[in-house]
Amino acid sequence: MSQRSKTDPATGVRYDLERSISLVDPDVQPEGIEVVRSAVSMTREAARAISITALETLREGARFMGVLGSRGELLNPFGHIDAAIWSETDVPEYMVDTAYDYCEELTRVEAGNFYHSFKYLPNEARRAICAYYAFCRRADDIADGDYVDLFPGGSSDDPEAIEYRADIERLTGSSPVVARDHYDDRMSQLFYYRKKLSTAYGQITSTDPIFIALKDTIRRYNIPRQLLDDMISGMEDDFHQNRYETFEELYSYCYRVASTVGLVCIEIYGYDDLAAREFSESWGIFMQLTNIIRDVAEDAERDRIYLPMEDLRRYGISEQDVKSGADLLEHPGWKPFVDEYISRAETYRDKAFKLLPLLDRQSRYSPAAMMAFYESILKKIDKSEGDVFTQRVQLSKAEKITLAAYVYTRYRFLAL
């Protein structure tokens, strides 16, 4: 559960979190930077619209409403429409279904492990989860890759985008940690992505299939916009911060990029006990902490160190030590640091597993499988004494199949 103060279960230390908490406490006013972010919206007057009835003139044969090309590649069924929004308020059901098909195929192609955990969900929940995954995936592709989001008329030179970047930079109080041209381009892309998100909560609808499906998912499951805005904010954080002094700072980042995902997922899975929110937040923290320790070497190559600096210093580990790669394995402080880090991650894992009994039995397998996969990765890192440098820590296909079968049997058929 998102709160202004948080007690770290691993250490008992209580600290304040710098993030918006309007989802839980409506009396708490968001900080300036969150006001700027949440105010981003697309208006009918500012965007070119196309009539759905005009689609007849845009059809490209029988494959127009499909999402796979002749060679099996993923196709945006509305990708050739040079307009940001539809002029009509309601999108026909067959177009919504096609948008969901696009999101599900994107998930299947881009996230094999996650898709495996999704495919046993009831049909409506599975398609909703895939729509949300597609939203998260594209945001990550924009922030951490070279994906160019198609937004007609949008560019880094647009006055709105320039003003947004300036406001965010001013309110963060720090200069970008990436090259200026890269910063301007990626932050502008995320700005327009927020504009598309606004259509999922407004009267107009984007022509992007991800946001067509997402809008339907949001309507069905009443998902708060703050959670999706916070996830994009976490992506923006990577352009302003590449070091985390304390675990408190790291927790706030992990909440944005991972806990918000869990909090959205449980709205789709369904729950009755509000404690599910707290356990879902811990689920996200556990998975992100596992990602961070697994990817230390890869992140260091990009001049990113997510490990709390004050914790590293307690074990005599410097930034240069982290960047040294496999040489860090010889450092006398590395294994003790890793032991402490894993112990902390395991406390969040233990809380995360408390979520499962609170979910509908048909939905439990999905989060249980993800938790089990990440728990196994963390155990491998522990067994290797923190060797995340000589080879990537991952599960073999046989390990995944065996683990998936065990989890499926336990959480779909047996009492917890």
Q: What is the pLDDT of residues 41-53, one digit of tens each?
A: 888 777 878 887 7
Contact present, 349 and 371 (Cβ < 8 Å):
yes
Q: Quote the CA–CA distance of 222 and 28 in Å, as a whole number.
A: 21
The residues of the chain scoring below 70 in pLDDT are: 1-31, 54-66, 69-72, 112-113, 150-154, 412-416
Q: Which among 24, 362, 360 is positioned nearest to 224, based on CA atoms?
A: 24
Strands (E), 13-160: 14-16, 49-50, 85-86
Q: What does the buried/exposed string (b/e) look like for 278-310 if buried means 16 or more CB atoms within 10 Å of the residue's CB?
A: bbbbbbbbbbbbbbbbbbbbebbeeebbbbbbe
Check residue 372 and give its pLDDT: 92
The Cβ-side half-sphere exposure at 43, using a 13 Å CA radius, reads 4
Check residue 16 and give its pLDDT: 53
Q: Quote the CA–CA distance of 259 and 320 in Å, as a whole number.
A: 30
- Indicate the pairing of strand 14-16 with strand 5-7: antiparallel
Q: Residue ranges of the alpha helices (H) in 245-356?
A: 247-254, 260-269, 275-294, 296-301, 309-314, 319-323, 334-353
Q: Quote the CA–CA distance of 134 and 118 in Å, as a whole number.
A: 13
Pull the structure tokens for residue 159. 């006055």
CB neighbours of residue 380 within 10 Å: 16
Burial class (CB in 10 A: 0-12, 13-18, 19+), 241: middle
CB neighbours of residue 364 within 10 Å: 23
Q: What are phi and psi of 197, to 5 degrees?
A: -60, -40
Pull the structure tokens for residue 26. 């409506």
CB neighbours of residue 152 within 10 Å: 14
Check residue 120 and give its pLDDT: 83
The one-letter code for the residue type at 61 is: G
Query: What is the domain partition of the chain in residue ranges?
Result: 1-29+242-416, 31-240
Pull the structure tokens for residue 374. 């990440």
Q: What are phi and psi of 14, to 5 degrees?
A: -105, 135
Contact present, 207 and 86 (Cβ < 8 Å):
yes
Q: Quote the CA–CA distance of 411 and 416 in Å, as a whole number.
A: 7
Q: Quote the CA–CA distance of 345 and 11 in Å, as a whole number.
A: 11
Check residue 376 and give its pLDDT: 94
Check residue 70 and give its pLDDT: 56
Count of H helices and E strands in the chain?
A: 17, 4
Residue with tokens 């700072």: 249
Q: Quote the CA–CA distance of 233 and 253 in Å, as a whole number.
A: 9
CATH entry 3.40.50.720 includes domain 1-29+242-416:
no
Burial class (CB in 10 A: 0-12, 13-18, 19+), 348: buried
Q: In which element (H, E) is residue 6 found?
A: strand 5-7
Q: Which among 188, 181, 149, 140 is positioned nearest to 165, based on CA atoms?
A: 188
Classify the C-alpha dihedral 77-80-86-87 as positive or negative.
Answer: negative
**Cα-based distances in Å from 13 to 8, 204, 326:** 5, 46, 32
Check residue 146 and give its pLDDT: 77
Q: Quote the CA–CA distance of 43 and 149 in Å, as a whole number.
A: 19
